């Protein structure tokens, strides 16, 4: 790969995002590189000490705390869209069967989160092999460590409540494979640090506000204390890259982001992703898909995206705040969400308040004899 092709693929506009091919370790040994460390990430690197936690230490979270999975639903049933159809609702008339269906549906959601965290772990590790700037590399290494504890934590929670996870859905798997395998740094950062992390923050905030399991609630908040900063890493890239793009480069990034959003919007929560669940409960998967299609209209998508924690609303806001959405694609997103309303909300993201509360809790554990520092996730 020539240097020019590498630059074109990476669409690099700032030295701290200069990248090389994954197998070009020799470039990491350049002497000038060691003295050219960017300070742009220092604040979020130093903040990692404030939100340290250990999923294996019960001082932070105890996965042995019980929850009555047989008699109590993990979330309200209105979060399980299939139960909004007459066919599924009538079929699952027995209260205990209904609870089991809800909890098995949540298993699919938490399994998707687990697979997403594994993707984030692999991707952040891959950035260490391609980013030349030491500051960017150090933060990617920090994120790798944090994603690793997320994988451990969600795996332990799933084991405690269900025994084991289910397979990754085809839509999420396809996106993760594309992002992690992409040679382009912009795809890695937009795809994971903005789209997947934004998706996660919306999902975490929704479940945090709705879940009935105290252990699940604590887990979500602990993970959000990390994810808020991962999202910030992507925002720093956008602030230093997007304003300098040529119209052609911006179009490449904007079109790819819109493609990913559309794929996620129509496939991530599609009933096609949970056919095994319907079969497990004696439901005709084709009938569920048919009934689902009758209620999941664009009008309902628009109504759902008025909710602050809606995962797709969070994705649009993430892309908008990053300056990726222009008049070229604005009309596409405006079919589902009020763009001017999102602009008026400012830079704070859904889940920031939950994360900040969690960080204060972690500071109290980690620094008992030190005065607590102010917490400002959204600040530079």
pLDDT for 10-29, tens place per residue?
Answer: 665 666 678 888 889 999 99
Q: How far apart are the first and last CA of the chain?
A: 35
Partners of 19 in the β-ladder: 131
Pairwise CA distance, residues 199 & 257, whole Å: 13
Token representation of residue 311: 């995962």
Q: What is the mean predicted confidence (pLDDT) over 198-202?
A: 86
Q: CATH for 3-366, among 3.40.50.970, 1.10.620.20, 3.90.1150.10, 1.20.120.80? A: 1.10.620.20
Token representation of residue 170: 């085809």
Residue of 74, 71, 360, 59 whose CA lies nearest to 214: 74
pLDDT tens digits for 61-106? 999 999 999 999 999 999 998 999 999 999 999 999 999 999 999 9
Token representation of residue 269: 């929560």
- Each domain of the chain, given as residue ranges in start order, spans 3-366
Which of the pair, 80 or 5, is modelled with greater confidence? 80
Pairwise CA distance, residues 160 & 122, whole Å: 25
Residue 200 to residues 132, 196, 228, 349, Cα–Cα distance (Å): 28, 6, 10, 12
Per-residue pLDDT, 370: 63
Per-residue pLDDT, 299: 87
Per-residue pLDDT, 358: 95
Range of 120-129, 210-219, 285-294 with top mean pLDDT: 210-219
Do the beta carbons of residue 65 and residue 214 sit within 8 Å?
yes
Residue 181 to residues 25, 99, 108, 178, 341, Cα–Cα distance (Å): 18, 39, 24, 5, 35
Residue of 110, 223, 101 whose CA lies nearest to 165: 110
Question: Is the pLDDT at 379 greater than 60, yes or no?
Answer: no
φ/ψ of 307, rounded to 5, equals -75, 130
Per-residue pLDDT, 12: 58
Q: What percent of the chain has pLDDT over 90?
A: 59
Q: CB under 8 Å to 115, separation ≥6 — which residues?
A: 165, 168, 172, 173, 176
58: three-class secondary structure by DSSP: coil
Residue of 80, 75, 110 whose CA lies nearest to 92: 80
Q: Which residue has the tokens 């269906």?
A: 101
Which of the pair, 224 or 266, is modelled with greater confidence? 224
Per-residue pLDDT, 346: 86
Range of 7-21, 153-167, 336-350 with top mean pLDDT: 153-167
Per-residue pLDDT, 113: 94
Pairwise CA distance, residues 238 & 240, whole Å: 5
For the chain, give the mean pLDDT.
89
Q: Quick count: other Cβ atoms within 10 Å of Cβ 271?
A: 21
Pairwise CA distance, residues 366 & 149, whole Å: 17
The count of C-alpha atoms lying within 13 angstroms of the C-alpha of 143, restricted to the half-sphere facing its C-beta, is 33
Per-residue pLDDT, 186: 86
Pairwise CA distance, residues 26 & 88, whole Å: 59
Pairwise CA distance, residues 140 & 131, whole Å: 9
Token representation of residue 14: 């700032």
C-alpha dihedral sign at 182, 184, 188, 191: negative
Q: Which residue has the tokens 């996106």?
A: 175
Token representation of residue 240: 């230093």
Residue of 125, 122, 123, 127 whose CA lies nearest to 18: 127
Q: What percent of the chain has pLDDT over 70?
A: 93
**Window from 162-166, 193-197, 318-322, 340-344 with minimum mean pLDDT:** 193-197
Residue 25 to residues 19, 30, 33, Cα–Cα distance (Å): 11, 10, 13
Per-residue pLDDT, 269: 78
131: three-class secondary structure by DSSP: strand
294: three-class secondary structure by DSSP: helix
């Amino acid at each position: 790969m020539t240097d020019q092709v590498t630059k074109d693929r990476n669409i690099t506009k700032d030295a701290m995002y200069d990248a090389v091919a994954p197998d070009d370790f020799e470039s990491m040994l350049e002497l000038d590189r060691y003295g050219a460390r960017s300070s742009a990430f220092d604040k979020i690197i130093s903040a990692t000490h404030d939100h340290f936690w250990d999923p294996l230490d019960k001082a932070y979270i105890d996965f042995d705390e019980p929850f009555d999975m047989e008699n109590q639903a993990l979330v309200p049933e209105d979060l399980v869209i299939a139960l909004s159809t007459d066919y599924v609702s009538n079929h699952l008339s027995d209260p205990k069967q209904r609870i089991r269906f809800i909890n098995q549906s949540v298993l699919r959601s938490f399994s998707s989160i687990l697979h997403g965290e594994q993707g984030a772990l692999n991707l952040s590790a891959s950035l260490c092999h391609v980013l030349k700037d030491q500051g960017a590399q150090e933060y990617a290494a920090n994120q790798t460590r944090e994603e690793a504890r997320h994988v451990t934590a969600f795996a332990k929670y799933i084991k405690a409540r269900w025994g084991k996870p289910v397979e990754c859905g085809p839509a999420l798997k396809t996106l993760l494979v594309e992002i992690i395998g992409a040679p382009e740094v912009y795809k890695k950062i937009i795809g994971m640090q903005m789209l997947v992390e934004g998706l996660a923050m919306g999902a975490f905030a929704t479940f945090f506000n709705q879940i009935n399991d105290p252990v699940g609630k604590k887990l979500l908040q602990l993970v959000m204390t990390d994810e808020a900063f991962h999202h910030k890493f992507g925002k720093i890239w956008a602030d230093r890259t997007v304003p300098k793009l040529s119209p052609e480069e911006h179009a490449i990034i904007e079109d790819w982001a819109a493609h990913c959003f559309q794929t996620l919007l129509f496939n991530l929560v599609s009933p096609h992703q949970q056919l095994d669940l319907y079969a497990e409960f004696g439901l005709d998967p084709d009938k569920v898909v048919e009934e689902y299609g009758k209620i999941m209209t664009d009008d309902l998508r628009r109504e759902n995206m008025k909710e602050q924690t809606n995962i797709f609303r969070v994705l649009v806001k993430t892309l908008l705040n990053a300056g990726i959405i222009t008049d070229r694609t604005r009309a596409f997103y405006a079919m589902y969400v009020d763009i001017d309303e999102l602009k008026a909300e400012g830079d704070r993201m859904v889940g920031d308040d939950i994360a900040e509360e969690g960080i204060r809790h972690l500071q109290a554990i980690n620094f008992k004899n030190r005065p607590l520092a102010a917490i400002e996730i959204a600040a530079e």
